[in-house]
Amino acid sequence: MSESRLVYTTSSSANCRGCHKPLQKCRCRLPGSQPVAAEKIIRIGRETKGRKGKGVSLISGLALSEDDLKTLAKQLKALCGSGGTVKNGVIEIQGDHRELLKQHLEKQFKQVKLAGS
């Protein structure tokens, strides 16, 4: 039973998002250890749902603070010559600029992939 991953619970005890252990037993958030979010793959996708057919490029998986995300979003908006925003840790750039964004982000981050079609 210790190998199973909990899908849903109503208990008030919180689990770590990285190792899925209770926060008291979590070792991935100890000082000096590598944060789990830093190992994530940065994904660049395109979405039109809820935007009246207008597409946006979504950049997710960035392990950055809110201020760093806003700074990076500002750079990417200037690069693409379009608008955008940061919502829930995801950068949204107006228009389909996935290839340009991938080329730029590969210079700064290790794993950058295009998601979807």
Domain residue spans in the chain? 1-36, 40-114
Which residue ranges in the chain fall short of pLDDT 50?
A: 12, 31-38
Superfamily of domain 40-114: SUI1-like domain (3.30.780.10)
* DSSP at 34: P
CA distances to 54, 79, 92, 110 from 87, rounded to whole Å, are 17, 19, 7, 23
pTM over 0.75, yes/no = no
Pairing of the two strands 56-60 and 90-94? antiparallel
For 38-94, give the DSSP string. Answer: GGPPEEEEEE-TTTTT--EEEEE-----HHHHHHHHHHHHHHHTS-EEEETTEEEEE
Q: What is the predicted pLDDT for the residue at 59?
A: 92
Q: Which residues pair with 114 in a beta bridge?
A: 44
Q: What is the pLDDT of residue 73?
A: 92
> Can you give the pLDDT at residue 56?
92
pLDDT at 23: 64
Q: pLDDT per residue over 51-83, tens digit each?
A: 888 889 999 988 888 888 999 999 999 999 999
